[in-house]
Structure 1
Amino acid sequence: MTQALRRPIRIDIAVCTYRRAELDQTLLSLAALSIPAGALVRIVVADNDVTPSARDRVDAIRSAVPFEIAYVHCPASNISIARNACLDHANGDFVAFIDDDETASEDWLSELLVMADTTGADAILGPVQAIYANSAPTWMRNGDFHSTLPVWVAGEIRTGYTCNVLLRRSAPSLVGRRFNIALGRTGGEDTEFFSHMHQAGGRIAYAEDALVQEPVPSKRATVAWLAKRRFRMGQTHGRMLLEGRASGRHWRAIALAGTKAAYCFGAAALLAVSPVKRHRYGLRGIMHAGVVSGLFGVREIEQYGNLEKAPQ
């Protein structure tokens, strides 16, 4: 929905990248955005490769994009470094994050801005719709296991993600806040970022029509990839539950997560004839097992630690 804003406003769109050819399509989708009257847009591309491998790709596409593009080289292979570089180079009223393998819908930014204006929230999340190839398992496509949506707890959103979000840079909960470098190779840096922002009084809203799409490559369309991701997500949640907990509450949390894991694994076994439900419960059980791991202080697995060797 395109509509004029109450005053001229500046937005930086942050794109962290690492050897991805899909960056071209991401930038071209941003070039086609409908921009509210009076809004000024700038794109910040943060190249997380050891060498500035994306520089030529960005320079080649500048003429097709009607916005200024700031290229930043921020080595190496640690997504928190790239995200922080985007925050450090942002100078607008808002900064929006989108991944380098996603494409934005025409009204993506407008919908985020309208929701920010309507709610006054510090962060606005949008949905990420997974696009599956025909080769992906039928149960995976039917169950839509890769799309990203916010989670509500007691009527509010308490954490978020960076694959589709708008941040109000002047919000007290966000001023000076940065992503944890220690989590830049495991994942979970965005969960921690938004959880701490929420604990500091920040509000998170949701713009359901601010859609971006993300193709699911074959290497991610597997049970093994989903299981590893869910386990790491559980580890991050467990580690955060561990923060500031007394010993007694710590053991109660372990018992609760262990019980939930056992229940989910049992439900998965009972629902073996239904692939979608079986995998949904099984993956949820793996996530709760990850929570137990995190509560025991086990370091998160490095889900993205092999990026340097991955062909792009």
Structure 2
Amino acid sequence: MHLTVAVATYRRPEELVRCLEATCPQVRDEVATGALSGAEVLVVDNDREPTAESAVQTLADPLVRYVHEPHPGISAARNRALTESAATDVIVFLDDDETPRPGWLAALLAARDRYRADAVVGRVVSDLGGQPDPWITASRFFERPRRTTGTPMPVAATNNLLLDRRVVERLGLRFADRYGLTGGGDTHFTRRFTAAGASLVWCDEAVVVDHVPPERVTRSWVLSRARRMGNSQMVVALDLAGSAPARARAAIRALAHGAARVSAGTAMRGLGTLTGSAHRRARGEVVVQRGIGMAAAVLGRRVSEYSRPAQAGAGEDDASPQAPLRVLCSFPDPRPTTNPYITMLLRALRATPGLQVGTFRWSAALLQRWDVFHAHWPETLLTGGSPLRRTVRQGLFWLLLLSFRVRGTVVVQTVHNVQPHEQHGASVRAALAALRRLTTVRIALNPHTAALIGRSCVLIPHGDYVSWFADHPRQDPQPGAVVFAGLVRSYKNVTGLITAFRAAERPGLSLRVLGRPDSEALEREIVQAADGDPRISLELRFVDDAELVAAVTGAQVLALPYEDFHNSGTALLALSLDRPVLVPDNEISGDLAAEVGEGWVRRFEADLGPEDLLAAVEQPLPDGRPDLSRRSWARVGEAHRDVYRTAVRGRRERRS
């Protein structure tokens, strides 16, 4: 097991060195005992300039690795730590003003193993640095609760938190950038973590000491922190509520809780005054401020605790980060059957600093304000269901376009196909044409799409599927095994593949077709084409990821005899699993072969024939792996953010 201890830092070099000097020996001890196969301590410097680099260099510990993340906010620093630790099994987050007590890391790892936990949160004790003000002592604000080790937790802070990296990646979680300067991002992250079924437990023996600076050991700071904690608690609750009715209920609860705390705190403070109890007076003030923060969240106010000062020579816009762009995607929350491209794109966008990304619901689309509307296959918003349902959808769609015009929402569209695969009626075509007229930028997944579209088109290559399938076991390729996988549509020419296969004669040759046809007529056509050939296996249904990985890796080649090979996520799926693809020979497949390696992309001219299949299975697997370096999802997310920002800036300049 390889471990990364991540320490985010901001302008605290002395505290950082103290933290590292206490942390590194414990990490080395765990490696020496064999509990860890490898480890590192990762410092993420979140200042505009790399101000912590000299402190790390002075320490000169080979265990410590330094990276600079200039995008301001603790969420950006935490996400950079997750990105940098992609090859790590376990990541532990510490704050730069903390020092772990002896046995801290061993206790965290032991709790993880004992309770088979996906995450472990340890105890934090505060060192106030001397005799604090009597009000601070009376408030007991810095006294954190203790629990029995192994107690399940619904939420945790990240100042002493162990996370299983594989679980984090499987759930597609990142820290939301909108909490970067307000606080609450760890609450938002861990609530989503546990809500998804991951286990989080308490470890009372894993103790770190929080060295509280003097400027925080004051009555005004404590009251401000209490207000921020109440505010972020309810902002997170509202964010996680989901549907409009759920958000309304959450808002009512937040107002009720806030009012109750203000009332209870006022009564507590009054009782303390009457009885001479300094504790009740101080606690009452804290409770009142927490209630005020809760109520403010419902009114849309955010308490920003970690605002950054402007640096010398910086412009006004540089004193604080750009407000996150609010981006609405045209697809709903992904389901298990959703195209993985959509799910991975959504994860990448939500992990990219500077973006606040929502998925499509008609209520959110029409009632909330968005900077960008990003359309993927927009015809799905206009079709499906009964005639009445389609009519209602089309009416709502026109209303949505009108709202974009009135509010100045920028429309960005990803062009997955130059021509639609299905024919649509006049009303749908008219609505799609109106959307195209509103579109500011089109995103192409390959340069040939961009060339066909021409102006206002940006190339962002389709991301890979390496991390998506990383947790599923692979099979050894079987000699002569050919597989087709994916949603079955007419243009994918599965019947042509079956016809060519039946004409191929070779011992051990087999064909496996996995995927759900989009019509009963197509399913009957495929079954009839394969009838009587025992070498053909038809599994015409939705296939989960584990079965898909086993099928693709168990084959020598993935055959995609599309009539129009343009953008194929399935081809990238096979390449991400280190298996070659057989595709039509055109400029797009030629470029793909040049990018990833010729041996990985095998091509046929005109119609697929039996000789093409035989040549594909007889060619050995290439050495190494396909080169997919241009298709990392971090790069994809950043490229989308740049497109959004440019489009919004241009729209605002034109309107002004």
TM-score (norm 2): 0.43
Superposed CA offset, 1:157-181 (max 9, x none) = 2111111110011126864311111
Look up the match of 1:161.
157
Look up the match of 2:298.
295
Are residue 121 (structure 1) and residue 117 (structure 2) matched? yes
Look up the match of 1:26.
19
Are residue 254 (structure 1) and residue 250 (structure 2) matched? no
Aligned-pair CA distance for 1:248 = 5.3
Are residue 10 (structure 1) and residue 2 (structure 2) matched? yes
Aligned-pair CA distance for 1:201 = 1.3
Checking the alignment, whether the CA contact within 8 Å between 1:124 and 1:166 is kept in structure 2 is yes
In 1: Cα distance, 2:147 partner to 2:290 partner:
15
What does residue range 125-144 of structure 1 map to in structure 2 within 5 Å? Answer: 125-141=121-137, 144=140
In 2: Cα distance, 1:19 partner to 1:252 partner:
38
Checking the alignment, whether the CA contact within 8 Å between 1:96 and 1:164 is kept in structure 2 is yes
Alignment-mate amino acid for residue 270 of structure 1: L
Mean Cα deviation higher: 275-284 or 107-116: 275-284
Look up the match of 1:62.
60
| Structure 2 unaligned blocks of 5 or more | 312-656
In 2: Cα distance, 1:150 partner to 1:78 partner:
29
In 1: Cα distance, 2:253 partner to 2:23 partner:
47
Match for 1:276 among 276, 279, 294? 279
Superposed CA offset, 1:85-142 (max 9, x none) = 1110112211001110111112111100000001122211111110112242134246
Checking the alignment, whether the CA contact within 8 Å between 1:173 and 1:198 is kept in structure 2 is no
Is the partner of 2:306 in helix, strand or coil? coil
In 1: Cα distance, 2:19 partner to 2:249 partner:
48
Is the partner of 2:97 in helix, strand or coil? coil
Look up the match of 2:175.
179
Checking the alignment, whether the CA contact within 8 Å between 1:168 and 1:174 is kept in structure 2 is no
Checking the alignment, whether the CA contact within 8 Å between 1:140 and 1:276 is kept in structure 2 is no
Look up the match of 2:306.
304
Is the partner of 1:12 in helix, strand or coil? strand
Report how many residues are paired.
296
Aligned-pair CA distance for 1:239 = 1.8
Are residue 51 (structure 1) and residue 38 (structure 2) matched? no
In 1: Cα distance, 2:130 partner to 2:205 partner:
26
Structure index of larger Rg: 2
Match for 1:194 among 178, 190, 212? 190
Give the % identical residues.
29
Superposed CA offset, 1:203-243 (max 9, x none) = 21011010110111111011111111111111112123323
CA 48–111 in structure 1, closer or farther in 2 if over 3 Å, else same: same
Checking the alignment, whether the CA contact within 8 Å between 2:9 and 2:46 is kept in structure 1 is yes
Is the partner of 1:186 in helix, strand or coil? coil
What does residue range 190-229 of structure 1 map to in structure 2 within 5 Å? Answer: 190-229=186-225
Look up the match of 1:4.
none
CA 307–286 in structure 1, closer or farther in 2 if over 3 Å, else same: same
In 2: Cα distance, 1:122 partner to 1:173 partner:
12
In 2: Cα distance, 1:231 partner to 1:121 partner:
32
Checking the alignment, whether the CA contact within 8 Å between 2:251 and 2:298 is kept in structure 1 is yes
By relative contact order (CA 8 Å, sep 6+), the higher-ranking structure is 1
Aligned-pair CA distance for 1:308 = 5.4
Aligned-pair CA distance for 1:257 = 2.8
Checking the alignment, whether the CA contact within 8 Å between 2:146 and 2:204 is kept in structure 1 is no
Match for 2:74 among 74, 79, 86? 79
In 1: Cα distance, 2:261 partner to 2:277 partner:
20
| Structure 1 unaligned blocks of 5 or more | 1-8
Is the partner of 2:204 in helix, strand or coil? coil
Alignment-mate amino acid for residue 175 of structure 2: F
CA 305–283 in structure 1, closer or farther in 2 if over 3 Å, else same: same
Is the partner of 2:93 in helix, strand or coil? strand
RMSD after superposition: 2.3
In 1: Cα distance, 2:221 partner to 2:30 partner:
37
Aligned-pair CA distance for 1:69 = 1.7
Alignment-mate amino acid for residue 133 of structure 1: G
Is the partner of 2:166 in helix, strand or coil? coil
Are residue 89 (structure 1) and residue 81 (structure 2) matched? no
CA 31–251 in structure 1, closer or farther in 2 if over 3 Å, else same: closer
In 2: Cα distance, 1:142 partner to 1:279 partner:
6
